[in-house]
Amino acid sequence: MAKILLGVSSSIAIYKACELVRELIKSGHEVKVVMSPFSERFISRLTFEALSGNKAYVDWEDDPLLHINLPRWSDLFVIAPCSINTLSKIALGIGDNLLTTCALSHKGKLLLAPAGNVEMYKNPAVQENIKRLRERGVILVEPEEGRLICQEEGQGRLASIQRLLDWIEYALRPKPLEGKRVLITAGATREFIDRVRFISNLSSGLMGFSLARVFRWYGAQVKVIAGFTTAEEPPEVEILRVLSTKEMYEKVMDLKDWADIIVMNSAVADYRPLETYEGKLKKQERLTLELVKNPDILAELGRLKKDYVLIGFALEERQKLQENALKKLQGKNLDVIVANPLESMGSEQYEGIILFKEGKAINLKASNKLQASELMVKELVKAIVP
């Protein structure tokens, strides 16, 4: 877990930084907070000290080298909220307080999350400074659109905690998948019986969405084709929505040549009703539905395979987990298959096996699907990046 130096500057959005510290600590990171002098008028340093379990700093006190020592201690320097004033000072190399001086002496990765009035943010001088910072490799997490404290509408709200946490994990990872394009399917497809009823399954989309987040953390450009999902959408990832297996099939076929890696994680409905009633089907004593087989998207991708790495999933009885998964890997012409035992469905704990076509098999155990996704992506990186 990482050592994060969190800078906070004077924006009313500073109250959200308290939640950010809590969430970072919950994720296992260590946090030290450095505050701009004016920000103390919004929130006392005691709040940050209590939340982080570390001393929070506004000035040098008795350590004249504090502006060197704090950045040196950190793996990542995050400033959230970063006021427009602090942002511009950092862009111009001005160090007039502990926070901006820390930014000057910092050699590692810097992530800024600006917040402020929409007109201040759009100001050409500020936009030039943002461009300058980006050119220097600073990660800038754009503020969000919405109603601002000043009652105006527009871009200026500090990025949500979920987005910030995701960007922080992104900033902490190496980028071996830079330049790679990853297409992931997620969630459940729905097959309609009539206008209001359908056949589907319990997939939440969490595994596919977690994989999308982790692939992005490691540098890939990610697109997700999602059926119905209940899990929270991954930030900064393009999500294309579909309903039925047929729609998913068509979208996947459209995008397959765009992708370097395709991960078929969706729980695809294997059957659809032969006929869909246009209105609402009336109640009757008996109802027989005739179902027809849907196309196997993964098998079709295997049949048409040219340059992409193809990854499938298999849900199997524990006794024949590896044996059946291997049959699917060979039968569908896959490069990799992730096999999960039936018991893993709906469980918090993750267990599975990742099997490569060359015969390598690795057991995966994790306490949640995000961690499991990271284990998978790391194994894939080892196998596919020279």
Q: Which residues are catalytic?
A: 150
- DSSP conformational letter for 258: T
Q: Single out the segment in contact with ligand CTP by CB under 6 A; choices: 100-108, 112-120, 212-220, 308-316.
A: 308-316
How far lies 333's CA from each of 235, 245, 302, 305, 330, in Å? 32, 20, 5, 8, 5
Q: How far is the CB of 322 from ligand CTP (least distance, A)?
A: 14
Distance of closest approach, residue 209 Cβ to ligand CTP, in angstroms: 15
- 218 within 8 A of 290, measured Cβ to Cβ: no
Q: What is the CB-side half-sphere exposure of residue 70 using CA atoms within 13 A?
A: 31
Task: Select from 55-63, 225-233, 306-314, 348-356 the region that touches ligand CTP (CB under 6 A).
Answer: 306-314
Is 23 an interacting residue with respect to ligand CTP (CB under 6 A)? no
The reply on whether position 313 binds ligand CTP by CB under 6 A is yes
> Per the structure block, which two tokens stand in for 217?
């953390």
Which CA distances in Å does 71 have to 64, 105, 158, 258, 297?
14, 7, 23, 41, 50
Taking CB under 6 A as the rule, does residue 83 contact ligand CTP?
A: no
Going residue by residue from 316 to 335, which x/- string records binding to ligand CTP, judged by CB under 6 A?
Answer: ------------x-------
Nearer CB in complex with ligand CTP: 81/312: 312
Which residue is it, tokens 């659109």? 145
Stretch that binds ligand CTP, among 202-210, 310-318, 342-350, 377-385 (CB under 6 A): 310-318
Report how far residue 66's alpha carbon sits from residue 48's, in angstroms, rounded to the nearest whole number.
18
Q: Which of 298, 353, 372, 375 binds ligand CTP (CB under 6 A)?
A: 298
Listed in sequence order, the residues at least 6 apart from 354 whose beta carbon sits closer than 8 Å to its beta carbon are 336, 337, 338, 339, 361, 362, 364, 376, 379
Options 155-163, 193-201, 273-281, 307-315: segment touching ligand CTP (CB under 6 A):
307-315
By CB under 6 A, the residues from 227 to 256 that bind ligand CTP are 245
Backbone angles phi, psi at 190, to 5 degrees: -125, 135
List the one residue from 186, 211, 268, 321 that touches ligand CTP (CB under 6 A).
268
Binding site for ligand CTP (CB under 6 A): 245, 264, 266, 268, 270, 294, 296-298, 312-315, 328
